[in-house]
A and B are shown apart, each in its own frame.
Chain A
Amino acid sequence: MTNRIKTEGNRNALRRSMVFLSFVLLLIAAAVWNIRSGSVDISLKETLEILFRRGDSESTAYNVIWKIRLPRILLSAILGGALSLSGFLIQTFFRNPVAGPFVLGISSGAKMFLAVATIAVSGMFSDMPVSAAVAASFAGSVMSMMIVILFTGKVRSMSSLLVIGMMISYICSAVTDLLINFANDSDIVNLTHWSMGSFSAASWQSVRISALIIIPAFFAVLCFSKQMEAYSLGEGYAGSLGVDIGKLRVLLVLLTGVLSASVAAFAGPISFVGIAVPHICRMLLKTEKPILMIPASFMCGAVFCMLCDLAARMLFSPTELSISTVTSAVGAPIVIWLMLTRRNRNGS
């Protein structure tokens, strides 16, 4: 009996290592593919030379790779990882497989602040710097998150919290729409562009800042994997094991908020990654264990966003698509398919 349990366990372990190994390989492949593709064609040999030997720093290829493509690849990987990790957190939090990181009104808060910044403030200055836009949308996300946290302690049922998140979204959208009425066309274009999401504004500065926020947040999430697993078995049960539920709920919202706020700030509200990627990971790993799902979601999200960004850049080159166009087009069918197969399994 004991032996049988162990062999089954080994088979699962093998499957899981294979999944992680393929994520690593895919990450490398996506990075290589991404770095070579674009309006300037650079051979693999030249690329490697530029990357590792630093080559001729005056050449176009050098500048394209170091100043444009590499930061963009890294940013899409980091933000993609953050986005799907925050999706996993919010799904764990609500025990709802179709919740996404932006249900808490985070992206609407970001958009509202951005609208205030671009429309109200930019009137006074001629041109708003990118950093100001990033700061505004981050502040907006954090504001929405704080409101949700305020309610987290007070509301008993999870569904009412979901409703509160949606209401915050509506209020923020109303304010945004109000501002748009008084805006210049050029400001509206900027806002619309932001709300479709893009990695095109990537720079080493944005990579550095987002990594500084997201990597510590990732490890913080990892440290709570044990509590999250207990939480997924029921709040009452987790409480009886010694988990401080109130604290954990606030922490989950806080970490989700920080992760998705970074994404909203640097790339806009990218849709579907946060919902779809954790699902893909669950199906591949055949588990919901947070200790496995956390790194898997992050890696898979990184791969997913890198490939989607590649598609956004290349499909209709030289016209660049917004990232949400691609992630939605790819992500939505995946979610539908997953829902269907999931029901079949339960129904059988």
Chain B
Amino acid sequence: MAPEKDIAGARLGTYDLTVGYNGVPLISDIAMSAARGEIITLIGPNGSGKTTILKTIARQLAPVAGTILIEGDDIKRLSGREIAREMAVVLTERIRPDLMTCYEFVSAGRYPYTGNFGLLTDKDREAVDTALRLVNASEIAERYVSEISDGQYQRLLIARAVCQEPEIIVLDEPTSFLDIKHKKELLEILSGMSKTKGVSVIMSLHEIDLAERISDRIVCVKGDRIAAYGTPDEIFAGSTIPDLYGIDAGSYNALLGKLELTAPEGPVRCFVIGGNGTGIPFYRELQKKGVPFAAGILMPNDIDVSVAMPLAGKLICTEPFMPADDAMKKEAEDLIDASEFVIVSGCPEGEYNRINSELEKYAAGRGKKIVRTIGELREVLS
């Protein structure tokens, strides 16, 4: 999919946009567009200007240069009320008024539809009820906003945006303050809205793994330009993400979408005989304790490899779907000799990893201590 689209035909598009504060440009040449039902996610390091871009789209900052179009109309030519009916905004401003019920809080989203005194009609109440139900917040409707949890509050913010019945929702880090369950819930609500109601979503996320899963397109913000713009596949291939965050290519684990820390440095103290995911907790524990280790012998498509690769000082891998050859076995034995102890993580034995049982016997024969559980490992290291 080509990232360049007809901006004028998109629901929301930016054209040659430059954003910044008080006329001082921060990021220039921003061109992106969201079609009906698309989710666009901004990612980038802290302070890269994601919020500045979102604030400019939400009209809280004047653009330094360039144009923002909603349904082909220049945002400057639309009235506040017209824009509010098209676009709902959930920014990081977090004000919880005292003595305001959740219902009242959410009903503020009806602002662009109510009359001069803001009184709710039956249609407005229906929209508020629907929005509360959508985010599973009906049961807290009559509680005060000052009394609810952060997770509930975040859902209220979404409900408030939903009952504004927008075509576009702009969110700045909607997942911060949420635990993993609520993060998932929230993103599912957003993705549901984009699929069923065709709402276009533009947001920033800290969690790049979630960004990859939910987004139709990703905007990488770094420096004074957009570093990259494209589909998740395009962005997550190659070194775009490590470059964006300025981290080593090896330590970003694209396969599991998890950020790995750097491998401990120094001579190998331990050899891990893993496989089939059983080695992962050991690799992590060794990394946390700062113990340099080697791992093997794994097949390159083993799930262990994705974690062992960035964390192990030395990793012995076979060719795809091939058993280990003698050179590999020799290398492994040498590493075991150099190690203080050996971890056997309990990978089931099969046709292609019989070699690992032989390595275990070799280690035992050389009088190396065999560690089989995390508890034992902690004892050895303490």
Contacts and interface: CB of A to CB of B under 8 A. Distances in A.
A99 to B, nearest CB: 14
B118 interface: yes
A289 interface: yes
Contacts of B55: 236
Nearest to B139: A1
A191 interface: no
A177 interface: no
A325 interface: no
Contact of B146 (A232, A236, A346): A346
A291 B117 contact: yes
Given A225-B118, A237-B93, A291-B118, A242 B112 contact: yes
B93 A234 contact: yes
Interface string A1-31: 1100100110000000000000000000000
Contact of A237 (B79, B91, B138): B91
Contact of A233 (B58, B79, B87, B95): B95
Contacts of A150: none
Nearest to A95: B95
B53 interface: no
A5 B88 CA distance: 25
Contact of A242 (B81, B94, B146): B81
Interface string A115-128: 00000000000000
A240 B60 contact: yes
A282 interface: yes
A37 B198 CA distance: 70
Interface residues of A, number: 33
Contacts of A97: 98
Contact of B60 (A222, A239, A242, A289): A239
B93 A239 contact: no
Contact of B141 (A5, A222, A225): A5
Interface residues of B, number: 40
Nearest to A225: B117
Given A1-B133, A232-B97, A288-B98, A240 B59 contact: yes
A1 B91 contact: no
A229 B118 contact: yes
Contacts of A235: 93
Interface stretch (B65-73, B99-107, B322-330): B99-107
Nearest to A291: B117
28 contacts: A1-B133, A2-B129, A5-B138, A5-B142, A95-B95, A225-B118, A226-B111, A226-B116, A226-B118, A229-B118, A230-B111, A232-B97, A235-B93, A237-B91, A237-B93, A240-B58, A240-B84, A240-B87, A240-B91, A241-B84, A241-B108, A241-B111, A241-B164, A242-B82, A282-B98, A287-B100, A289-B100, A291-B118
Given A1-B129, A236-B58, A288-B99, 20 more contacts: A5-B103, A5-B138, A226-B117, A230-B108, A234-B93, A234-B95, A237-B91, A240-B59, A240-B60, A240-B84, A241-B80, A241-B111, A241-B164, A242-B112, A282-B98, A286-B99, A287-B101, A288-B97, A288-B100, A291-B118
